[in-house]
Structure 1
């Protein structure tokens, strides 16, 4: 199976290719330059893996919540490949991608993932272990800045993971057990065999998920 993974939900853009069990990975660490680098990264990895777009079986896209502009860029590229080359696209929650990256970096046990949405709001989700990533009913919700400290106090046995450089959040997290991690496209291959089930939008037109007002905690 040949799979392209696209991660543009955070400050770095990363791309990965899965080819018959072998993983090729590239990340650009220039902050918020997704639009400038994404196509070049894809071309570079396809060349490195000796694949063409026509040889891809599917595309996995981290479709949110996360960076407004980054998600539009990533989903736009995936949609264009779907329309032009008829490649199936599957959306994976950016919170799950973040958690998967943390677990692949040797973190164990319970984690809470936080992504800043701006305007004093944070997207959040919690996982009891690596196996819970595969649960298709994982709850995602929005935390207001004023609720963050209370939420973390109620989940003090969870390790906090964030990909966001948010001053208000960092001030609250100073005394907490937390890690600053950037999600990596290669961690999406954790979902490679169940991506058709994980993607709530089907296998073609993937729309960014910014969460909505109804998804607030409590």
Structure 2
């Protein structure tokens, strides 16, 4: 199975390739340079591994949440490449990818993810690893830090051990009563590969023209509008 994964949802920019059973990746911290860096990174990785777009089974991308511009860049690139090569697309949560990497680094099954969403809010993700892959315990959301803390505590069980990922923990440490270490600061496309492979095997692909980024903040605003469902 051959899957290309890309992510530009935060300050980081990353590309990864699953080629058979081997994984290859490139990762850079390049704020506000994603649109200039992502295509050269993709081209370089594919050339180094001697594989063409047409030889891929699918393209995966970080659907968000994250930076509005960054998420749109990844969505647009994935859509364009998939449409041109007639490939299906796999939409992977940015939060889930971070949780997967944190789990793989630590072996701790319960992962709490918070990305700094600016405007005194965080993108919230609560995950548990089952058979080697993370699954959401609660719905993704954008929340003030104190509400995120309360949501985590609502699912807390005596004796559970946790690991942490994301920039939100440092940005709002006092609101979150946080003093632990952070295993993963930014999403990495390499961590998406296992999730993407499982999604592909589970027939969770979508057509290129049907993919949609996940902003969360827009979703919350829409819910607050009067006379809207």
Normalization by structure 2: what TM-score?
Answer: 0.81
Aligned to 1:184: 188
Confirm or deny: 8 A CA contact 2:125 2:136 kept in the other structure: no
Unaligned runs of 5+ in 2: 225-229
Confirm or deny: 8 A CA contact 1:4 1:17 kept in the other structure: yes
Confirm or deny: 8 A CA contact 1:4 1:18 kept in the other structure: yes
Aligned to 1:113: 113
Q: CA deviation at 1:28?
A: 1.5
d(CA) in 1 for partners of 2:125 and 2:103? 15
Confirm or deny: 8 A CA contact 2:128 2:136 kept in the other structure: no
Runs of 4+ in 1 over 6 A off after TM superposition: none
d(CA) in 1 for partners of 2:48 and 2:149? 45
* 1:206 aligned onto 2:214: no
d(CA) in 1 for partners of 2:34 and 2:134? 28
Q: Deviations over 1:8-33 (max 9, x none)?
A: 11211000011111111101222342
Aligned to 1:98: 98
Aligned to 2:59: 59
Q: CA deviation at 1:118?
A: 2.1
Confirm or deny: 8 A CA contact 1:10 1:164 kept in the other structure: no
d(CA) in 2 for partners of 1:192 and 1:149? 29
- Counterpart pick for 2:173 among 162, 167, 170: 170
Normalization by structure 1: what TM-score?
Answer: 0.84
Q: Deviations over 1:167-193 (max 9, x none)?
A: 641344564334152221111111233
